Amino acid sequence: MTLRFAREADLDTIIALIHGLAEYEREPDAVRLDREELRRHLFGPRPYAEVIMAETGSGEVAGFALFFHSFSTWEGRPGIWLEDLFVWPELRGQGFGRALLVRLAQIAVERGCARLEWSVLDWNEPAIGFYRALGAIAMDEWTTYRLTGEALESLGRSA
């Protein structure tokens, strides 16, 4: 097993993994990304996110973790937000997901981060059990809010 930071040449594989995740999460039509925009945001002059690729011993891509930095005002330190973690279904159970999370924890420690956080769909019992086994705790008292589309545009235009 190999873990490495993604390269620009991995872009189409990253997009395939994103589509695979959307299928798994029962939202196959929700992916609206633009390839060039994603390339710019991952590999351009100001990257907004980073990707760790997991590969089998033969070099086949098994999965990925896409993450970016957050910031805790209470801690006064950065954190890492794990946006996506996905392993191809046929390669699950071989330690790729755990290895990706271990690597992210190492990066968080190396970079002086206070926390590593992510969200999980409430119906995804296999993932919830996996995360609990690692020692992660659910932040059930917090509710995530989101502005998108017209609501975001409208608020952004308000004075």
- List, by residue number, the catalytic residues: 131
CA distance 11 to 19: 12
Under 8 Å between Cβ of 144 and 119: yes
| Maximal C-alpha separation, the chain | 56
CA distance 2 to 31: 28
| 98-117 CB burial, b ≥16 within 10 A, e <16 | ebbbebbeebbeeeebbebb
Give the residue among 158, 135, 159 at the shortest CA–CA distance from 147. Answer: 158
